[in-house]
Structure 1
């Protein structure tokens, strides 16, 4: 997700995170028995969108398997949306609602038999409209320059259940994919995830556009994009590239999206093959800035370099590429392919994806430019709250998950201090957890094993505490004394001492250590560009 939040929204976020969590939060973010008793196999959405009424009507077929005997399951749908009926094996089911949770009861308990079961969930209503998309979740009803409807949706964090019935948790994705069938007024097109499988004139002033996803997909990634789109098609190394843009921008897009090819070459060399080749790669023009919708990435940066025409790193390097294309496409590997079980671990999405920006810079412009770019992002770190949120209550934690998360990875790279090994580790990480749902402990265990080093205290300091490690320094005439000041005990991490431009690699701990020197204090300093640290010279 895009992250350069307007300042007033940032402070609102801080206030919300400080409040007590409620039953509503637990229902939204928790792992109730009614949720974990079944495993979603696929979603099959079939809806009609009325642009004038800003309404949705239709149903979602939810196919699932029972994991534990259950007489009741939890599906989620925002309270403002109407439930028309829920049907199972030809009979309407009883249900009760509590906030956004819908508890569906079966006449007889469903047992573990390995067979697919399916409910059809009919619903209707006016979905929540976003005020500041994509920073707050909801539908976006706009018009293009010709006055034609231009509709989109972005719901990460707020919840996919604001517009369709779904198990609204990142821990369960539809194993067999999904179909998204959306009817819109004639003259408009809907673009969703996956492959276009056909359209049908419904003879009532509406045409239905059908899309199919072959891969598992995050519920917040499922999307609709309605407009009078032009379509550009290309291929790269056997991968289908499709661009859906407003007709007025067709020529502009042809040139601008050429950046996609070197990006794919870079990311595939570092992170492995594009994870969703069966579903293709798409950029879809939206009226809002962007979102990582799997195989249908939302693009709204108006064909500019940088982030809305500016450089978030403050170095000028960010103006060499279109931030939205690179960042949101990086999510195809980190967030869409590798997904965090709980939103509290969203740094697994955002930290790695933000790091992918500097990886792209390094692929095209070299190591020094990449280091300049990623260090330029340090001024975006607040250190006001831990990166990891509270588990089980839909709490995504601090926005430091982006830049601080990326700089943690840059720190790990320089702890490893062996670039071929680092890129091998990162590639293995991407391939090991391809299309998997994981948590922070899994990430830590992987990097511990691959580096043959106990990195747990380092991960803990950066992720679970608001402060970064501080290196206390005392420089004398003939020695340098140093130690780490951290919240974590038994903290150990290397540092690089520069004595008249000579590099000396030292292993610092929480205990004072010393290193003998012969030079004057003015010639001595510690490198803070390869590590995210604060250096205190006493």
Structure 2
């Protein structure tokens, strides 16, 4: 008896000690997000998720009850649900009937539930899963996922989750792949007295429990799998409304830490102008019937749907706006409304995510600001592997170089590809293509669209649809090849000859501007070649406005020099 009491005391003391970053360790299965899916997950649609969370800062633990609804697309006898085994399951019921413990198992981070009866196509099932434990602590959120336990300057709990890389299974039972979005999610988040829990979607009520704790209830539709987030802290709130260009009124909220009111108000003042920019160039804010929401977090940031994480410390920049807020907000269109069905197509998220900051700079201040912001990205393009590989892959196979991923190129090379495309097909066509990609239609209005899945192939189709031309040669080089096209220049007497050299030796008829003295002329480069008569002593500048992403020996030499200095 004494031994068991001492063991219990030791366990409680251990649980009260903040877990180290990276602990408890996670399995390879939990770390994986996306990729090839097992047949049982392909056999069902994810209809609904009712998620009850209990955040327990005293023991750095998380308890949950998840009630998940599925419909069978084909006959299935087992449910395969992703859940980190650091959150052990203590009970499972199917359609209200409790299962015995032998009916489920979770040896490696994928919960297997044997159904009492085989589901036929079209049949529905409800699974209630009770679980809890000490969740994995992020090493360096949001680049490394998990939970973040922190304290405010006053010593109060400040807690957040991030899950883009390792996936939603870090803290709730889910389908951890892009198309695993539940149709509707209801969240009930119980937190200690004096703390708030802003989350996804629309607040449907707040309950005060007998012990003084509060339960925050939210409902969201079609939420991106990694975009569901828990945020807990002694938040203060700023709210307002935005009168949309499309006739609706959108509520806006910012939750920030005490003592930051003046800075918080300045950031909040950026919400409406940024919304106006997106609605003018792209289309309606996708979640206007829920909210625009931003919450201050103890990590840098993340595109959590309608509750974007912000941790930029109110940094000032020469552009005059907060790039991090703008970047994460971009993802409401490019990640949350338009979701890539396969991680291989995530340049649709991050290429646009990176491009929309220079585009906003152009909207606010004009071409000089735009050019400066684009040039700040140019030197970081690495060109080591293609952005798109044409197969189903996981998140790590995109972001990690050790697994063959393009990493940051999906951001900066994707951004420069979009810059080149816009200059190639023109502003009107570019934004028409963008609108089709985001909404699936040319005339989006509040209520006539919903979140959708997209792909590179579909995007190329939209370009053909809008322009009436096939730009496969463009995407083949920029997306499916690693090396950039090289523009070879030859001058002989009064003749300037230009030719494109591309990795696969194929056609690359990219037009290019040439400045001769004060005159700028565009060469069509039919067949990838063009000639121009110029005086032998004329000063010539190729592509003077840097409208085309192409090989630069200066960039390559700079990168090599920087790499040698690091060694």
Same fold (TM over 0.5): yes
Equivalent residue, structure 2, for 1:333: 333
Q: 1:47 to 1:498 in 2, by over 3 A?
A: same
User: Is contact 2:30–2:167 with CA below 8 Å preserved after alignment?
Assistant: no
Which of 424, 428, 453 aligns to 1:420? It is 428
Identify the range of structure 1 (235-244 vs 372-381) with the bigger mean alpha-carbon deviation: 372-381
**TM-score, length of structure 1 as denominator length:** 0.88
Q: Where in structure 2 are the equivalents of 1:32-43 lying within 5 Å?
A: 32-43=38-49
- How far, CA to CA, are the matches of 2:291 and 2:275 in structure 1? 12
User: Is contact 2:89–2:132 with CA below 8 Å preserved after alignment?
Assistant: yes
Q: Tell me the CA shift for residue 28 of structure 1.
A: 5.1
Equivalent residue, structure 1, for 2:92: 86
Q: Tell me the CA shift for residue 347 of structure 1.
A: 0.8
Equivalent residue, structure 2, for 1:63: 69
Q: Tell me the CA shift for residue 163 of structure 1.
A: 0.9
**TM-score, length of structure 2 as denominator length:** 0.84
Equivalent residue, structure 2, for 1:444: 460
2:227 counterpart SS class: coil
Q: 1:134 to 1:27 in 2, by over 3 A?
A: closer
Identify the range of structure 1 (272-281 vs 68-77) with the bigger mean alpha-carbon deviation: 68-77
2:275 counterpart SS class: helix
2:379 counterpart SS class: helix
Equivalent residue, structure 2, for 1:193: 200
Equivalent residue, structure 2, for 1:385: 385
Q: Structure 1 residue 182 and structure 2 residue 189: aligned?
A: yes
Q: Structure 1 residue 517 and structure 2 residue 523: aligned?
A: no
Equivalent residue, structure 2, for 1:207: 214
- How far, CA to CA, are the matches of 2:516 and 2:300 in structure 1? 46
Which of 299, 309, 312 aligns to 2:310? It is 299
Which of 504, 507, 511 aligns to 2:521? It is 504
2:326 counterpart SS class: helix
Which of 107, 114, 117 aligns to 1:108? It is 117
Q: Tell me the CA shift for residue 420 of structure 1.
A: 3.0
- How far, CA to CA, are the matches of 1:26 and 1:212 in structure 2? 27
User: Is contact 1:476–1:521 with CA below 8 Å preserved after alignment?
Assistant: no
Structure 1 stretches lacking a partner, 5+ long: 1-21, 307-315
- The higher radius of gyration belongs to 2
Equivalent residue, structure 1, for 2:277: 266
Equivalent residue, structure 1, for 2:348: 348
Identify the range of structure 1 (442-451 vs 519-528) with the bigger mean alpha-carbon deviation: 519-528
Q: Tell me the CA shift for residue 125 of structure 1.
A: 1.2
Q: Structure 1 residue 402 and structure 2 residue 411: aligned?
A: yes
Q: Tell me the CA shift for residue 289 of structure 1.
A: 1.1
- How far, CA to CA, are the matches of 1:184 and 1:26 in structure 2? 29
User: Is contact 1:31–1:392 with CA below 8 Å preserved after alignment?
Assistant: no
- How far, CA to CA, are the matches of 2:145 and 2:29 in structure 1? 21
User: Is contact 1:485–1:510 with CA below 8 Å preserved after alignment?
Assistant: no
Equivalent residue, structure 2, for 1:430: 438
Identify the range of structure 1 (459-468 vs 32-41) with the bigger mean alpha-carbon deviation: 459-468
Number of residue pairs matched by the alignment? 501
Q: 1:44 to 1:294 in 2, by over 3 A?
A: same
User: Is contact 1:48–1:184 with CA below 8 Å preserved after alignment?
Assistant: yes
- How far, CA to CA, are the matches of 1:33 and 1:257 in structure 2? 46
Q: 1:322 to 1:524 in 2, by over 3 A?
A: closer
Root-mean-square deviation (CA), in Å? 2.2
- How far, CA to CA, are the matches of 1:195 and 1:443 in structure 2? 31
Q: Tell me the CA shift for residue 384 of structure 1.
A: 2.3
- How far, CA to CA, are the matches of 1:421 and 1:513 in structure 2? 25
User: Is contact 2:515–2:542 with CA below 8 Å preserved after alignment?
Assistant: yes
1:493 counterpart SS class: coil
Q: Structure 1 residue 372 and structure 2 residue 387: aligned?
A: no
